[in-house]
Structure 1
Amino acid sequence: MQSKKKMIVNTVFLVVIFALTIYGVFHGEDLGAMMEAMRRADVRWLLPGLFCVVFFIWGESIIIWYMMHSFQIPVKKRTCFLFSSVGFFFSCITPSASGGQPMQLYYMKKEKISLPVSTVILMIVTITYKAVLVVVGLGLVLFGQGFLHRYLTEILPVFYLGIGLNVFCVTAMLILVFHPALARTILVLGLKIVEKLHLMKRKESRLKKLEASMEVYQNTAAYLGTHKMVLVNVLAITFAQRFALFAATWFVYRAFHLSGISFITIVLLQAVISVSVDMLPLPGGMGISETLFLKIFPPVFGSALLLPAMVLSRGLGYYGELLVSAVFTIVAQLTIGNTKREKRGGTTYDRVL
């Protein structure tokens, strides 16, 4: 019953945010001129942009497949693609992308993959996924001040907030993974403070759950300690994966037969939007992503093509991702856990850390 209520709340929230976004972006705009400009866009350049979106989803599936095999779990690549699609679909429709990994864990469990293994894998995916944004954000702050002041003057506070939130998130996860004793001390202290302030009732079971959850981070640390090159390879794949999605905006730029702005400039501008909105509690950064695009891309697309470019860019980077992942989430629902499994010699999906 509670899960149904949560689903209803999330659905209503998504619809409200979507309606407000549509109103905020298109209110008072010449929709006829926008549609005409979009019709003139060269589809031959948009198709590679769609391929970038598919590559983005596929990239995470390769990471999952690669790490599964490091645990000697012979899961198929197509199954990992379904896991990846499920994660992106539910991340797109839930605030702060909070629904993606729980649903991935659910489908991995249906494939008889043990919870400790799948949790460690998804923990590393999350760390590297956000670490890319931290590297991009801090790199621009340290070495790209000219770039920032040329393109981002209006949105610098939001950009710095995004960097701060991502740095905090990655730092917290790394502390949990590599300094579990310190993390436990901090979390227990925080729990005691919350209970002392009467924001929560004192419960012994809550402390036991906290200690049980720390085992996940200890397992992650143990895995990384013996698989350092796996982490390096995963980080490299994640960079390629994330920059492929950012590159979709460059293909939109070329679809309008524009030139003069470099590929790397457009990719970094799109990366700035991801850095800024990734940690905000909005499904897919909806609303704020469109606003930031309209703020920072006028020097790239000009006033006449800015709105059509935003629609096509977001159409590929968010709604295209949502559509592709939705299709394969349906496939996952129909196939994962419902097909007759082959015998796997020597190793089973029930393997634990």
Structure 2
Amino acid sequence: MLKSKKNIINAMFIIAVFGFTMFSVFRGKDLGDIFSKVIKASPGYLILGVICVILYIYIESDIIHYMLHNLGIKSKRFTCFLYSGVGFFFSCITPASTGGQPAQIYYMKKSKIPVPVATVVLMIVTITFKFVLVVIGLFLVFFQQGFIDKYLNGILPIFYLGIVLNFVVVAAMMILTFDQNLAKNIMMTGLKLLVKLKLMKKKPKRAEKLSKSMDSYNDAAQYLRANKLVIFRVLFVTLVQRIILFFATYFTYKAFGLHGASIYDIVMLQAVISISVEMLPLPGGMGISEGLFLTIFIPIFGSDLLIPGMILSRGLGYYTQLLLSAALTCYAHITIISNNRPVIDPLKDNIRTIECKH
């Protein structure tokens, strides 16, 4: 009952934010004129944008597959694609993208992947995912002042806030991932607190089980610490993944037959939006993303095609991603949850613990 009420509240919140966003964007505008311009966009370039979204989701699945393989767990690439879809779907509908990781861990657990291992893998994915934004943001601040002066003067406070918030999250997650004692102490202290508050019953076996789970977590983290090339590969692939999605906005630009603006400027401006909104407590950055686009992309699309450009760019980067990941989540639920069968073939010795390859 509580879960149902929570889901209803979340759905109402998303609908309210979406409604407010639509009202703010289209208030006083000629909807017929906007629609006529949207439908004139070249389908070929929009298809390229959709391909960018598909690649964006698939590349994360490749990272998950690669890291699981390095930790000694066999998994099917398509199953990892489902994990990736689940993550993006719940990230799209939860504030600050907080729902993606827990949902992925749930589905991975149903596939017999140990929770501590799934946690470490997904934390590394999240760290690199956000670290790339921090690097891009700092690169712009220290080496692209001309770009900032040209495009970002109106949004500098939220841009800088985005860099700081992403940096803080990355730093905190790195400490939890690679400091074995701290992560274990936090979990054990949290368990004791729940028992003290009488939210959980005191069971010695539960504490013992949690301790063993954290040992598996530490084993996985230790392996990754000892194999830095794995992290560097993941970081590079994540950079490519991020840039591919930003290219969807460039293809939107080309779909209107526009020319003159550089690929670099368009990609970096889309990166600025991601940096600014990713940690804000809004599902998918809804509302603020549209507002930032309408502010910083005026020199690119011009006032005449600004709103149509925002509609298609946002439609590709967020709504297409939402629909595709929703379809993958439904399929994952059918194949992993409803059928209650494992869709991976874990190594025999890795169902409960991991043997790190040293």
Q: Calculate the TM-score normalised by the size of structure 1.
A: 0.89
CA deviation vs aligned residue, 1:32-74 (integer Å, no higher than 9, x gap): 1111111111111110000000000001100011111112211
Q: Partner letter of residue 59 of structure 2?
A: G
Unaligned runs of 5+ in 2: 201-206
2:328 alignment counterpart: 328
Instruction: Indicate if the aligned counterparts of 1:116 and 1:216 stay in contact, CA closer than 8 A.
Output: yes
- 2:165 and 2:102 map into 1 onto residues whose CA distance is 22
Aligned twin of 1:89:
89
Pairing of 1:130-169 with structure 2 (within 5 A): 130-169=130-169
Any idea what the Cα deviations from partners look like across 1:115-171, whole Å, max 9, x if unmatched?
111111101111000000000111111101110110001000000000010111111
Q: Is the deviation greater in 274-283 or in 112-121?
A: 112-121
CA distance in 2, matches of 1:181, 1:74: 28
Question: Which residue of 2 is the match for residue 347 of structure 1?
Answer: 348
Structure 1, unpaired ranges of 5+: none
Greater Cα shift, 34-43 or 310-319: 34-43
Give deviations 1:187-220, integer Å, cap 9, x for gaps: 79x99xxx9xxxx9965989x79x9697686445
Say if 1:177 and 1:220, in contact at 8 Å, map to a contact too: no
Deviations for 1:163-189, whole angstroms, at most 9, x for unmatched residues? Answer: 01011111111222334556788x79x
Residue pair 2:96, 2:282 contacting (<8 A) in 1 also: yes
Equivalent position of 1:264 in the other structure? 264
Change (3 A) 1:68 1:33: same
Query: Contact between 1:90 and 1:100, CA under 8 Å: does it hold in 2?
Result: yes
The verdict on how the C-alpha distance between 1:128 and 1:343 changes in structure 2, with shifts beyond 3 A counting, is: closer
In 1, distance between residues paired with 2:116 and 2:167?
26
Q: How does 1:248-263 map to 2 (within 5 A)?
A: 248-263=248-263
Map of 1:3 onto structure 2: 3
Identity percentage of aligned residues? 52
1:313 counterpart residue number? 313
Cα 1:170/1:32, change in 2 over 3 Å:
same
Q: Residue 113 of structure 2 aligns to which amino acid in structure 1? A: I
2:293 counterpart residue number:
293
For 1:85 and 1:52, the matched residues in 2 are separated by 14
Tell me the equivalent position of 1:114.
114
1:40-79 maps to which residues of 2 (within 5 A)? 40-79=40-79
Q: Which amino acid aligns with 1:169?
A: V
Asked if 1 retains the 8 angstrom alpha-carbon contact of 2:162 and 2:279, the reply is yes
Report if the CA contact (8 A) 1:155-1:292 is conserved: yes
CA distance in 2, matches of 1:220, 1:25: 47
1:15-44 per-position Cα deviation (integer Å, ceiling 9, x unaligned): 111111111111111111111111111111
Aligned CA-pair RMSD: 2.8
The answer to whether 1:176 aligns with 2:150 is no
Give the superposition deviation at 1:317. Answer: 0.2
Q: 1:343 to 1:131 in 2, by over 3 A?
A: closer
Distance 1:38 1:163 in 2: 33
Matches within 5 A, 1:12-27: 12-27=12-27
Residue of structure 2 equivalent to 1:221? 221
**Closer, same or farther: CA 184–85 of 1 in aligned 2, 3 Å:** closer
Amino acid at match of 1:122: L
Distance in 2, Cα, partners of 1:343 & 1:242: 27
Residue type of the alignment partner of 2:326: A
Indicate if the aligned counterparts of 1:166 and 1:279 stay in contact, CA closer than 8 A.
yes
Of 114-123 and 310-319, more deviation after overlay is shown by: 114-123
Shift of 1:297: 0.1
Aligned residues: 343
Could you tell me whether the CA contact under 8 Å between 2:45 and 2:252 is conserved in 1?
yes
Counterparts in 2 of 1:4 and 1:136: CA distance versus 1, 3 Å: same
Contact 2:116 2:217 in 1 (8 A): no
1:308 partner letter: P
Matched, 1:98 2:89: no
* CA distance in structure 1 between the partners assigned to 2:344 and 2:323 by the alignment: 34
* Residues 123, 177 of structure 2: 8 Å contact kept: no
1:235 corresponds to which residue?
A: 235
Secondary structure at the counterpart of residue 261 of structure 1: coil
Are 2:336 and 2:343, in contact at CA under 8 Å, matched by a contact in 1?
no
Residue 52 and residue 291 in structure 1: after superposition, are their counterparts in 2 closer, same or farther (change >3 A)? same
Deviations 1:255-313 (A, max 9, x none): 01111111111000000000000100100000000000000000000000000000000
Letter in 2 for 1:91: S
Letter in 2 for 1:224: L
Q: 1:78 to 1:184 in 2, by over 3 A?
A: closer
Question: Secondary structure in 2 aligned to 1:172?
Answer: helix
- SS at structure 2 position matched to 1:352: coil
Q: Output the CA distance in 1 between the equivalents of 2:183 and 2:79.
A: 34
User: Match of 1:96, SS?
Assistant: coil
